[in-house]
A and B are shown apart, each in its own frame.
Chain A
Amino acid sequence: QQQVKQSPQSLIVQKGGISIINCAYENTAFDYFPWYQQFPGKGPALLIAIRPDVSEKKEGRFTISFNKSAKQFSLHIMDSQPGDSATYFCAASMLSGGFKTIFGAGTRLFVKA
């Protein structure tokens, strides 16, 4: 499978701080980059997603920054809260038919109260 590299593996942030998770991809055919949030024992839930024709997308406290030339994208969680403690996965996919979504390794985020 084409790789999506994600870092860091784990992250501890103080309440109110900014959580930053980075990802890099290889296949330039990818044209859809979602982020998923997963709580223990649950399936992943879509958090926010971006297409490569924009450099940034913001939804509430969550922002994706996208660098097409570097083939990198990142998730910023502003004003991090204890309820944000979960595992976050970046992913890469294609919008057209015949697609498959490739996941990064995941980042375990812990927000300290």
Chain B
Amino acid sequence: GAVVSQHPSRVICKSGTSVKIECRSLDFQATTMFWYRQFPKQSLMLMATSNEGSKATYEQGVEKDKFLINHASLTLSTLTVTSAHPEDSSFYICSASRSGGAETQYFGPGTRLLVL
């Protein structure tokens, strides 16, 4: 089956610093990658959609200057949380689609971010 990995699995940082989270499709090329955020006991909220080589499309209410997304290749997307604050503490989950369609969407294991 298709595998999506995330690194790191958890990160703790100080308020004001920037944190980068990587999402990789290990055994397939992902034309589209997605970033979700999940607060405790809540659902997954889509933050942005990115296609390789083009700018990410952000959902309403998501600050694109704070959450920088780079989809540099067909197997790698990165999410950088700039100037992180405690309210950014959350579970960040990426997913990758092999064909650009929902039937080939696979989710990563998530990254737990704690901002002190």
Contact = CB atoms under 8 A, between A and B. Distances in A.
Interface of A: 1, 32, 34, 36, 41-46, 49, 89, 93-106, 108
Interface size class of B (residues with CB under 8 A): 20 to 34
Contacts, number: 63
B42 A106 contact: yes
A34 B105 CA distance: 10
Q: Secondary structure at chain A's binding surface: helix, strand, loop or mixed?
A: loop
Nearest to B61: A1
B101 A104 contact: no
B59 interface: yes
B49 interface: yes
A36 B97 CA distance: 16
A14 to B, nearest CB: 24
